[in-house]
Structure 1
Amino acid sequence: MNTASTTEKASHYDTRAGVALIHLDNPPVNALSHHLRVNLAESLTRAGQDPDVHTIVLLGAGTSFCGGADVRQFNTEAATADPMLAALIAQIEASTKPVVAVIEGVALGGGLELALGCHHRIVTATASLGLTEVSLGLVPGGGGTQRLPRLIGTAPALDLIQHGKRVSGVEAVKLGLADAVFDADPVTAVLEQVAAAGDTLPRNTDESVVDFAARHASVNNKSRNTIAQHAAIDCVEASTRLPLQEGLRYERARFDELVAGPESAALRHLFFAERQAPKVADLPADTPIRPVAEAAVLGAGTMGGGIAMAFAAAGIPVTLYEREQTALDRGIDRIRANYEISAERGKITAAEVGERLSLIRPSLTLSDLASADLVIEAVFEDMDVKKEVFRSLDNICKPGAILASNTSRLSIDDIAAVTSRPQDVIGLHFFSPANVMRLLEIVRGDATSPETLVSCVKAAQRIGKVPVVVKVGEGFVGNRMLTPYWREANFLLEEGATPQQVDHALVRFGMAMGPHNVADLAGLDINWATRKRLAPTRPSHLRYCKIPDLICERGRFGQKTGAGYYRYEDGSRIPRPDPVVDEIVVECAREAGIERRPISDDEIVERCVLALVNEGAQILDDGIAQRASDIDVVYVSGYGFPAWRGGPMHYAETLGLDHVLAKIRALHAEHGEHWTPAPLLERLVAAGETTFLTP
């Protein structure tokens, strides 16, 4: 056996029995950084010139083949420095020696494009392959939209590219994306594949016609990556009418256009923000993690049931407790109905419905929670009620069990104080529906131990949530920012707008729903209770809008009562304008001495969104959030802020912090103390800073 070995910084080169083994070695996912591309080009040249080498193999060091381009290098000189990915692929395709991609772990984005340029691809059964660029507001830029349709057919290629879908190794072979599954020595598998294939490269001959106009029409305009989806469709269509080289140039032009645009910049910002949010700077690296083998939820309402479903979906047994049989039965029936709807839509199988239901154990006995590693309270949002619950849990739960509250606003410190184990108490603020919404605010109390915190972060990730660590404060991050947002939405009603105008303006801006639609959906009585609780602390000299209070006083709590800011007829969820609300608005404006006037959509968006930004800056200054990007994750993942704008803080940076401060100062001059600029924003602008990344 002839063996030679040379170690390089971003790749390793070996030969074995006439096979050149080029290992991509750029942890953690072997991203195609400039340095790796240089090393690959050198290794390919070396293998091509070696007379003893007859086959070339690309494979990943570690557990993955290649996770794609180095996203951090986008919009930098490194991204376009030679050799670019296209040149590497051209070098592979021109090789007179067969080049084989051996794919374990992931081959995503540029990593799969690299593999598509190879003459053969073999995969493990559990490998994950996909062109996922649309998730970052991009299209493949290394030939993926041109080579994949030619390999597997236009329609299946478009399905993968437009939606950024991933397929397993087994599925890849069925599609024709990979040649074979291997489960033993990769070199032996490579040699067998090359021998079986000979010099013939399989290429798809699918002549099926795709209705590209219909594909464009099917794109949801509220998607976070609408522009990228349309571009992906255009690129795949180009593959059906242009020769390969022209198609590659067309694809690259669209990629360059998107990578320079604000939408992709926003999505890339969120990509990194979501990965940064779970990290807490002051936690020791060796903090032990308590495993959550069994969970429990106290309260079988809509929120509690959704939380139980989230744990069951992750394969974690969960006890669901209620005090009364009727409430427990109602909760289990709701869970079963949700699962059955998911099965009807093809999201889960009938077998999975049974499996998940079997993991949820209903109980009327509080002591059944004693064996749980994590207990989550999801009862009525009242401090006295929650304190009583935690006193009971403190007596029942085993030592070391984590006791969590799903409170959306209340102090975790006050709740923890009634227990003998405040170090084990934490806030886990889920968002409704809890089995669907990805955001989880993890509220760290003053006494919460590092072990409790990191254990909950890991548990959140295990059940598929995006955890954001925050500190105690009224409303934490998300709901605290809602207060000024809804304040301005209601002030705008008094000043001349209608609920439907405010909602439509903000939906056109990109919000998933308008504030009054959201209030009706959530239930107006919830925030009414909060306003009454906080009324003694509200400065009497500040402007206060009575519109939502008067609506609630008439028993209008939103969709659940058939009326709120809108009316809902015959059980319908369609909001309809209501003259009763118009009368309330006019009455409140008259009592407040406000002369109503025409309000523009631009003013609505500016005041509501800048209210979020200003409060976000204050939250950051108060230390409730660790970083501005955490606030963006909260608002995009939990509150419907458009992902393609990157979140309120990123959006403010794109406007320019100096511009934002000038607008807020103008609003302060016109509307008073509510618009006092956040001191952090003033300090940053005075220092010439352009981002919320403080020095």
Structure 2
Amino acid sequence: MDSKGNAYTTCQHWRLDVDAEGLTWVTLDKRNESTNSLSSAVMDELAVLLDGFDRHPPQGVIFRSGKAAGFIAGADIQEFTQLDTPAKGIELVTRGWQLFARLASVPYPTLALVHGHCLGGGLELALACRYLLAVDEPATRMGLPEVMLGIVPGWGGMLRLPERIGPQAALDMMLTGKTVDARKARRLGLADECVPPRVMDQAAAMLVLSNQPRRRPPLLQRLLNGPFKALVAGTARKQVARRARAEHYPAPYAIIDIWARHHGNALAAPQLIDSIVRSPTARNLVRVFFMQERLKSLGKGGTFQAKRVHVVGAGVMGGDIAAWCAQRGLTVTLQDQGMERIAPALQRAYAAWGKRIRDARELRNVMDRLIPDPDGHGARQADVVIEAIFENLEAKHALLQDLEAKIRSDAVLATNTSSLRIEDLRSPLARPERLIGIHFFNPVARMPLVEVVAAEGSDPEVVQRGIAFVRQIDRLPLPVRSAPGFLVNAVLGPYMLEAMRAVDEGLTPATVDEAMLAFGMPMGPIELIDMVGLDVAVAAGKSLAGAGAGAEPPRCLLEHFNAGYLGKKSGRGFYEYRAGRPVKGPVGTVPAGLAERLVRPLLERSRQLVNEGVVADADLADAGVIFGTGFAPFTGGPLNYLRSQHA
């Protein structure tokens, strides 16, 4: 290092600067990328930097990001697709483990200045530093989400996170992939300090120059991370078993075992690591990650940015769409026939936000953006107008004609219909090409997918604006062509129909559901029908199931519907609901081949919709069915699953 601290000029991704106090600021600015990730080249250069620091120990080192997007997003996921031999998988883990262990043992103070996202390998790097300073802004999120990719945090996360915040909080983060913001990181002890952006550099320098020891976790946390590990591990395994089966998702179980039996050192269990890293689950979950990134990319590149949204229809769907848009920062006007219809939606939004937004001023600001509008004045100023009333063609015709006469010529006019064709809805409009579908799923706040529906002759610019709007509100846009049920409902219809046929044949609803839970679905098809509503299933049944005109609805469906059982919303459907949970009877023996029988119509319908061009290709179909229905992600999607069965 020269007197100015500008050594290592051969590094393409790292930049060094030495300030007047003698502190070395190490900036990661990955070349030709908008986001920092820890590729092999980045890691090799970090090793070179540490070599130099060994020769000329610095006063202190502060790691920071040169990207506006955040600190470090994690490892380079592309490299996971190249792990085709056991040696490559072990080599990948070894490189990160040894490098970060080396960083953790240096004699000079080190600090990670976390501004924006800090995930996976990025957090493992930060944990290897003596100090972690979190910048208090909404974009700052920290977590170890490797489990979402079917892998484990093998570069030291399973060792250092439990040491820093205690095993219970650490396992909760590692086993779920949850992230925490700057303030929670400070409360947990993950961050030493939490400061606003304007003082982050000064605060970082002061903390490093103080050279103070890190505060130790409380005694109980140290005991739980030591003598009482087995107790914590046993509890964690039971909790994981309620959410995921080991044969489908081995990674969370491996995390528990490596922490409890090997002190978080993945290299102590090389066979386990190889079985995880190169497993079909990891391969498919990495595939799902890239499909998700593809959906996100569909909304990029344009200039459209909505500021105002007008929603007509304050029922569950319309009210929740309006609430979600307001939470994402847009000004939203919500229209219905009177305040008595709008008030429940506002109350529901306030109750939901109150659980997540602790700051009273922020909560008030969000509520101020959700404006009741019985007379529909907001439609004239809106950038996006969404019709979300009940599924009646004549009523929608009258409303859409009225809206078209009011709204701006450049506004996006959309319908949230789930079963009516765009061609039929747009027929009375003066400019029919401007109407598109923006189809949300229930519950809006939890379902990440939104179908953006185009009909023959739809204005491509309007469609692209609809896609950009969906990304703007942090949802995944899936372009689909107008057809009965579009993609998601079209594949669910025959799947749910086959499940009810099995009940008609004498199987209990609990047995049918258990077959698909064992297959890997997050919810059984009968419980799903209860959630959708038996009245909806009766109304949409034939068209969405693809049944012939003479086909009769399942007997069990009609019997429950005629008895007044509408599903979860009425407290009883196929199941009785207590405190919002279904009361299921004994499962009994699940017949061999039942799951394959039940899922086959869904698989075949998915393939048919790709062949018909309702969705552009198999990858988009797989992404849509996973993010729109919860179809077992470890399979990589229905069409990927079909290919694997015929391989």
TM range (shorter): 0.7 to 0.9
Say if 2:484 and 2:544, in contact at 8 Å, map to a contact too: no
Pairs within 5 Å for 1:72-87: 72-74=78-80, 76-77=82-83, 80-81=90-91, 84-87=95-98
Aligned to 1:2: 4
**Conserved? CA contact 1:22–1:43, under 8 Å:** no
Please tell me whether residue 142 in structure 1 is matched to residue 155 in structure 2. yes
1:329 corresponds in structure 2 to: 340
Q: 2:610 aligns with which of 603, 620, 628?
A: 620
CA 1:196 to 1:500, structure 2 compared with 1: closer, same or farther past 3 Å?
Answer: closer
Name the structure 2 match of 1:24: 28
Q: Which residue of 1 aligns with 2:499?
A: 489
Residue in structure 1 matched with residue 566 of structure 2 by the alignment: 558
Contact 1:431/1:439 (<8 A) preserved = yes
1:119 pairs with 2:130: yes
3-state SS of 1:84 partner: helix
Aligned residues: 620
Which residue in 1 is equivalent to 2:174?
161
For 2:324 and 2:440, the matched residues in 1 are separated by 10
Give the alignment's Cα RMSD to 1 decimal: 3.7
- The whole-number CA distance in structure 2 between the counterparts of 1:205 and 1:599 is 49
Measure how far apart 1:275 and its partner are.
1.6
Corresponding residue of 1:630: 620
When residues 538 and 145 of structure 1 are mapped into structure 2, their CA distance, relative to the original with a 3 A threshold, is closer
Partner SS state of residue 35, structure 1? helix
Q: Is 1:469 aligned to residue 479 of structure 2?
A: yes
In the TM superposition, what is the alpha-carbon distance from 1:372 to its structure 2 partner? 1.7
Q: Which residue of 2 aligns with 1:656?
A: 645
Q: Secondary structure of the residue that 2:219 maps to in structure 1?
A: coil
Aligned residue among 44, 49, 53 for 1:47: 53
**Structure 2: distance between partners of 1:170 and 1:573:** 33
Per the alignment, residue 591 of structure 2 pairs with 601
Inter-partner Cα distance in structure 2 for 1:308 and 1:273: 27
**CA distance, structure 2, for counterparts of residue 219 and residue 467 of structure 1:** 30
Partner of 1:412: 422
Q: Is the 8 A contact 1:85 1:142 kept in 2?
A: yes
- 1:269 corresponds to: 287
**2:106 corresponds to 1:95:** yes
Question: What do residues 146-178 of structure 1 show as CA deviations (whole Å, max 9, x unaligned)?
Answer: 122323434443343333333334444444434
User: Are 2:205 and 1:195 equivalent residues in the alignment?
Assistant: no
Are the counterparts in 1 of residues 150 and 250 from structure 2 also a CA contact under 8 Å? Answer: yes
Task: Name the residue aligned to 1:547.
Answer: 555
CA deviation after TM superposition for structure 1 residue 190, in Å: 5.3
CA 1:59–1:349: 2 relative to 1, 3 Å: closer
Q: CA deviation at 1:354?
A: 4.7
Shift of the 103–303 alpha-carbon distance from structure 1 to 2, 3 Å rule, reads closer
What code does the residue aligned with 1:443 have? V
Q: In structure 2, what is the Cα distance between the partners aligned to 1:568 and 1:316?
A: 39
SS of 2:463's partner is helix
- Normalized against structure 2, the TM-score is what? 0.84
Select which of 28, 40, 49 maps to 1:34: 40
Q: What TM-score, normalized to structure 1? A: 0.78
Task: Map Cα deviations across residues 366-385 of structure 1 (whole Å, 9 max, x no partner).
Answer: 44422222111112223333
Quote the offset at 1:8 in angstroms: 4.4
Q: Deviations over 1:130-160 (max 9, x none)?
A: 2222332333101112122323434443343
1:339 aligns with 2:353: no
Q: Structure 1 93/7 Cα, relative in aligned 2: closer, same or farther at 3 Å?
A: same
Q: Where does residue 530 of structure 2 map in the other structure?
A: 520
Query: How far apart in 1 are the matches of 2:241 and 2:398?
Result: 46
Whole-angstrom CA distance in 2 between matches of 1:572 and 1:190: 48
* Superposed counterparts of 1:55-454, under 5 Å: 55-63=60-68, 64-74=70-80, 76-77=82-83, 80-81=90-91, 84-126=95-137, 127-180=140-193, 183=197, 191-197=205-211, 200=213, 203-204=216-217, 206-208=219-221, 209-210=223-224, 211-212=231-232, 213-219=234-240, 221-222=242-243, 227-238=250-261, 242=263, 247=265, 249-250=267-268, 255-280=273-298, 287-289=302-304, 291-323=305-337, 325=338, 328-337=339-348, 339-340=350-351, 343=354, 354-454=364-464
Aligned AA (1:644): F
Are 1:516 and 1:565, in contact at CA under 8 Å, matched by a contact in 2?
Answer: no
1:113 is paired with a residue whose SS is helix
Query: Structure 2: which 5+ runs fail to align?
Result: 225-230
CA offsets 1:625-665 (integer angstroms, 9 cap, x no match): 23323323332333232333333223334x3335xxxxxxx
Worse-matched range after superposition: 40-49 or 557-566:
557-566
CA distance 1:253–1:378, shift in 2 (3 Å): same
Q: Shift of residue 100 of structure 1?
A: 3.5
Larger Rg: 1
Deviation at 1:395, TM superposition (A): 0.8
- Structure 1 unmatched runs, 5+: 578-597, 659-695
1:111-131 deviation line (CA, Å, top 9, x unaligned): 111122223333433343222
CA distance in 1, matches of 2:557, 2:173: 49
643-652 or 348-357: bigger deviation: 348-357
Letter in 2 for 1:442: V
